[in-house]
Structure 1
């Protein structure tokens, strides 16, 4: 890094819109709370206008208002406070005008041309923010990998995804407004990231859970074409809707908007007054509408709705536009996801009979078959962890990669994080557990680093793979050679105490568990 003279005005960058004043910590420059756009309720966003003078960029911007807390069960891993130790959450001031982003970089010269990762937060399409999980902080990954990290806030829930298009042209894009915010961020990156040392022609879009879904959905959005070059989806595969037409998918989401308006007493004649309905009243009406229509609840209530020429929907299965054939994709899951919470303590205190009885309480007549399959797939793992095998994200991810690898000209890569984290006698990795390792922030998460002697080594291996993928679209490193995934050869990288490639078909185990425990999630 070249020598610089530090003054009270350092560091300052000049974006297309105006000057920003960030701060430096060690070798990393931080620019927080950069406003990238503005949006009227239910409308497409507009780029932030140019400004005079210098704007402060040292603290985070507003986040999108969250859904009413009472709609989340008290024991939900995503509730506040709920069970948040394993998945720590940070909350921040909320406003509907929430289009802000943050940047971490080691360079302020256009000539640096460093790889860029745009990170999309989780929380489905209903909740979350760019700072909700402490491990989202980009400082360590930026510093270690010499890459530029960008993350963002955008509109969520009814503000970003309530489809009111059946009420007229003015609401044509209301059902995918939140994804339009993500596209606007990518346009901002294209225009401005060079002044932060980034390469606008080497942008990876990555995210976990809902963020992983958003990353994949961008491949169904023509306005995003050319604004990103690689995709990483962590525990974010979307449901297969190949048997549903675009028209059916559109009507599905329009029905939620129509029922919400009905609850609010609105019709086509006075629908414009919905713009002034207080957010909490609007959100409660949308939740009530979802219940009446039988939609999934909580953070699963919303998804983007198709809009002609803007978002092509999921009916053709995400990621299957000709314009995306050149995009390398990495997708994976963790062993436990939302099924990890089986606090059984020290597994050595149970006899084999005890373990069988515990498993039988969950899996009934299929218990022996499940134990047999589990031992074949995970020979070093205690059979009690068969309780924690994810049957939601893993099958969806496999199905996505099977079709994507047959369709695309670019490579696909698959991973699974199987390491047992020694917290509370040993737990399977849970939903969000891979995030601290990607961002090199394991020390921020006590549940990961307490008593776990392999944490730093695993952090090195995972973060290096992500950095390699950002740089060249291939996650192979010196220590881990990563072969592509195909339907014929479903190779996956296993992240555990000993990492390496394996080719194993786990579909029978997943089917047995799903059939035996239908209410697992």
Structure 2
């Protein structure tokens, strides 16, 4: 942006050139709301404080208080004055009216920040898009609910402060993005994992209507009877459960009221921040709830009632997530045991359709079914969506595995993984499972190396076109090709509500039993290799309880 001095609602801001591309101007740490400390703790975000003079936007704002885990690259200085956002713009003037992409980070609703290197916006901005990342409250500070908080809210609702932060950021974008050369009528929201769950909640929430025109939830949306919703970031709590857990939490912290909780030091509040809920799949304890205001009904009821924004959606899953197992010691006996627990009366049918053979071991047989489910669940969700909405759903299945990161959780077992037990490491977080026998059905079974193939989050740096910012990966020509293709699909969708464009394989909306396979090669594939497997996946999902 040739003109980096910009007037916004709270004052003048001066941007800086991206260190990766001097044609992109970056504005870091712009406050979209006031500090959440003191009396603003567990309140809806308040308006940001204006400033005098020129604010030099060369430094990311502090992350919201949290206990980071695994390979996260979180800035060390945290603060409750954390509600800021970052903008990457290629615009030459405010008259450019470029499309806007607002990225919402993942991290199980307990960690993450908009300043992580994995989310650098330069690469996508270079394709003619304004990229926005933001911070929102996580963990106990973002999702504590109690009857007292509900009563004082004025809406008889509490527990979704992190989602309210995102809405405040989207409203800030509507008010201010034109000054950076953006078009507020062309905003797409997206994110991965908890960011995808957030995107889903924004499409559901009546408070978000009109704040965006398209959505890209990556590894987040599933058919509302898919049991995996119970253990993943989209898991939610009823208001009653969230408030009951909140009352217990207040007592656990040694407080007798929210007034006392607001005076407690962060160190005390963050104890236990990363714990799991004691239900199948081990979802995070602190997560959104159906409060009747931000999140009005369950996923299934929202679909049944048509309470979703009718906008184009691009959504899907990666090949080696969604219940695939990475443990190479998983045996045929384990397979049979887990199948009986998962599929019940359908177990024998499962074993016939996904047999162990001379070329397919027990782990691969299990993973084939999990991958089929990841494709079928998107198709079934699209069917439900289209009972009320007319906008297209572009479903995908991402297959490209990045190279292992030196010292990372996907490294070979001879290397030390980030988060491994040890006095000088980050605390290890066993995200989806307890240490249980291989024969007991759990969401995941992690073997040496912790991550496997096209794992959860593997696509992020490819679709955001920022391989340059990632440390420790030995990327090759195939990786750069995949990044060019993926980011072009994403850029086209953000620009036009349709991922298709010149030089790209035809990306058709999910329909007629097919979905788009994305990776080194891109092409339409069946939801499963046989009609019998598709029918089996549907029969299983139809028989489950609703979410």
Q: CA deviation at 1:386?
A: 4.9
Distance 1:106 1:249 in 2: 43
Are the counterparts in 1 of residues 63 and 74 from structure 2 also a CA contact under 8 Å?
Answer: no
Are the counterparts in 2 of residues 219 and 319 from structure 1 also a CA contact under 8 Å?
Answer: no
Match for residue 418 of structure 1?
399
Q: CA deviation at 1:185?
A: 0.4
Are the counterparts in 1 of residues 507 and 516 from structure 2 also a CA contact under 8 Å?
Answer: yes
Match for residue 505 of structure 2?
480
Q: CA deviation at 1:362?
A: 4.5
What CA deviation, in whole Å up to 9, does each residue of 1:331-380 have, x standing for no partner? Answer: 11101127678487xxxxxxxxxxxx96526524879997986799xxx9
SS in 2 for 1:174: coil
Match for residue 260 of structure 1?
249
Match for residue 199 of structure 2?
215
Are the counterparts in 1 of residues 327 and 363 from structure 2 also a CA contact under 8 Å?
Answer: no
Are the counterparts in 1 of residues 289 and 295 from structure 2 also a CA contact under 8 Å?
Answer: yes
Distance 1:283 1:314 in 2: 29
Match for residue 499 of structure 1?
522
SS in 1 for 2:386: helix
Match for residue 137 of structure 1?
120
Match for residue 13 of structure 1?
6
Are the counterparts in 1 of residues 396 and 517 from structure 2 also a CA contact under 8 Å?
Answer: yes
Q: CA deviation at 1:411?
A: 0.7
Match for residue 50 of structure 2?
50
Are the counterparts in 1 of residues 399 and 454 from structure 2 also a CA contact under 8 Å?
Answer: yes
Pairs within 5 Å for 1:110-509: 110-132=94-116, 134-143=117-126, 145-166=127-148, 169-171=151-153, 172-237=156-221, 240=224, 249-267=238-256, 270-284=257-271, 294=278, 300-317=284-301, 322=306, 324-337=308-321, 342=326, 360=332, 362-364=334-336, 385-386=364-365, 390=370, 397-421=378-402, 423=404, 427-445=452-470, 449-450=474-475, 452-478=476-502, 479-486=504-511, 489-505=512-528, 508=533
CA shift in 2, pair 1:306/1:372, >3 Å: closer
Q: CA deviation at 1:315?
A: 4.9
Which structure shows the higher helix fraction?
Answer: 1
What CA deviation, in whole Å up to 9, does each residue of 1:457-484 have, x standing for no partner? Answer: 2112111111111111111223221111
What CA deviation, in whole Å up to 9, does each residue of 1:232-252 have, x standing for no partner? Answer: 0000126837999xx982112
Q: CA deviation at 1:310?
A: 3.4
Distance 2:469 2:327 in 1: 22
SS in 1 for 2:159: helix
Q: CA deviation at 1:116?
A: 0.3
**TM-score, scaled relative to structure 1:** 0.78
Distance 1:311 1:358 in 2: 39
Of the structure 1 ranges 215-224 and 295-304, higher mean CA displacement relative to structure 2 is found in: 295-304
Aligned residues: 464
Are the counterparts in 1 of residues 196 and 218 from structure 2 also a CA contact under 8 Å?
Answer: yes
What CA deviation, in whole Å up to 9, does each residue of 1:113-132 have, x standing for no partner? Answer: 11100000001211111123
CA shift in 2, pair 1:266/1:114, >3 Å: same
Counterpart check, 1:32 vs 2:28: yes
CA shift in 2, pair 1:116/1:415, >3 Å: same
CA shift in 2, pair 1:387/1:310, >3 Å: closer
Are the counterparts in 2 of residues 33 and 101 from structure 1 also a CA contact under 8 Å?
Answer: yes
Are the counterparts in 1 of residues 143 and 286 from structure 2 also a CA contact under 8 Å?
Answer: yes
SS in 2 for 1:199: strand
Are the counterparts in 2 of residues 44 and 173 from structure 1 also a CA contact under 8 Å?
Answer: no
Distance 1:94 1:299 in 2: 24
Of the structure 1 ranges 476-485 and 93-102, higher mean CA displacement relative to structure 2 is found in: 476-485
Q: CA deviation at 1:325?
A: 4.8
Are the counterparts in 2 of residues 237 and 393 from structure 1 also a CA contact under 8 Å?
Answer: no
Distance 1:131 1:220 in 2: 27
Match for residue 72 of structure 1?
none
Are the counterparts in 2 of residues 103 and 149 from structure 1 also a CA contact under 8 Å?
Answer: yes
**TM-score, scaled relative to structure 2:** 0.75
Q: CA deviation at 1:511?
A: 5.8
Q: CA RMSD in A?
A: 3.8
Of the structure 1 ranges 422-431 and 204-213, higher mean CA displacement relative to structure 2 is found in: 422-431
Distance 1:418 1:138 in 2: 23
CA shift in 2, pair 1:371/1:306, >3 Å: closer
Q: CA deviation at 1:449?
A: 4.3
